[in-house]
Amino acid sequence: MYKNYRYDGSEKLVLAHEPTDDTQYAKDRASAEKKMAHNLEKINEMQMKLYAEKKEGVIFVFQAMDAAGKDGTIRAVLSCLSPHGVNERPFKAPSSDELAHDFLWRAAKAVPAKGDIAIFNRSHYEDVLIGKVKQLYLHQAKADRIDPDEIISNRYKDIVNFESYLYHNSVRIVKIFLHLSKEEQARRFLSRIEEPDKNWKFSASDYEERKYWKEYQKAFEDCINHTAVKDAPWYVVPADHKWYMRYIVSEIIKETLQDMDPKYPEVTKERRAEFAGYQKDLLKELKK
């Protein structure tokens, strides 16, 4: 399902050809929310098995333009998870300490343990998105041997190798791009300006970044085409309708966990024999 949203390197993405308002897998909001509720039950059940089994970890990466709905989608889809074994990591502007290390350092620190789920709200991809659009790498300390013209292309390769390394060490990574139209972003920005309880969501920097819309679209297209591989795919999810976007994200997460197929650990005969003794003692205690 959702093959037309999935990119694994087998075909080239042309972002301008991808719809932002598609709703082909749910006829209306009510049906999408009903399906999503069912998915959340399955996700919760599989997460408990994943945490108990402790054989494989998974990272869900969320990238998008401002106002696409990353935070709301993470809350709506992943609030069903137990806080045990789940960690959300927001990737804001790098600190001076982070800039003193390699660009993947902060991502490596946030890699989950086997059995855990990590949610990257933005991610290491910021270094080939805003880092590329604003050419931030030109102002960062680097060895004299580094060719500035090769930094972005080398980062694409480093990201692919990093994610391949994770996959070979029992950590999957699934990357989700919430694909919003420029017109819908304008409507959401206006809502933030006009509704007092949403004023806090809007800042002048949001509007300033909008001026780079075409550059960001090109940066997203390039990074997806350079880093989408079978074992670490990208999903380009239509984001103009929040109800549909959240439903599709719930399907992606559900199907990822189903593919991982976690199971509760089997108890050995010896352990079951021990349990029988504990059971006998506890029953005696309750009869007193």
Higher pLDDT, 38 or 80: 38
Supply the pLDDT for residue 52.
96
pLDDT at 107 over 80: yes
Supply the pLDDT for residue 83.
84
pLDDT at 260 over 90: yes
* Burial of 127 (C-beta count, 10 Å sphere; 0-12/13-18/19+): buried
Percentage, residues of the chain above pLDDT 70: 100
Contacts of 121 (CB under 8 A, 6+ apart): 62, 70, 71, 74, 88, 89, 90, 91
| Average pLDDT along the chain | 95
Supply the pLDDT for residue 156.
98
**Tokens (6 digits) for 87:** 């960690």
Contacts of 24 (CB under 8 A, 6+ apart): none
Q: What is the mean pLDDT of residues 246-257?
A: 97
Higher pLDDT, 258 or 269: 258
- List Cα–Cα distances, 189 to 39, 168, 200, 242, in angstroms: 30, 42, 11, 15
> What digits encode the pLDDT tens for the residues 120-169?
999 999 999 999 999 999 999 999 999 999 999 999 999 999 999 999 99
> What digits encode the pLDDT tens for the residues 48-83?
999 999 999 999 999 999 999 999 999 999 888 888
Q: In total, how many domains does the chain have?
A: 1
d(CA 254, CA 261): 11
Contacts of 266 (CB under 8 A, 6+ apart): none
Pairing of strands 171-179, 234-238: parallel
- Determine the 3-state secondary structure of 119 from DSSP: strand
Supply the pLDDT for residue 116.
97
Domain limits for position 221: 3-287
pLDDT at 270 over 80: yes
CATH assignment at residue 46: 3.40.50.300
Supply the pLDDT for residue 4.
86
Band (203; pLDDT cuts 50, 70, 90): confident
What is the DSSP-derived secondary structure letter of residue 136? Answer: G
Higher pLDDT, 1 or 267: 267
pLDDT at 2 over 80: no
Supply the pLDDT for residue 1.
59
Q: How many CA atoms lie within 13 A of 133 on its CB side?
A: 21
pLDDT at 213 over 70: yes
The beta strand positions in 39-85, using DSSP E, are 57-64
pLDDT at 172 over 90: yes
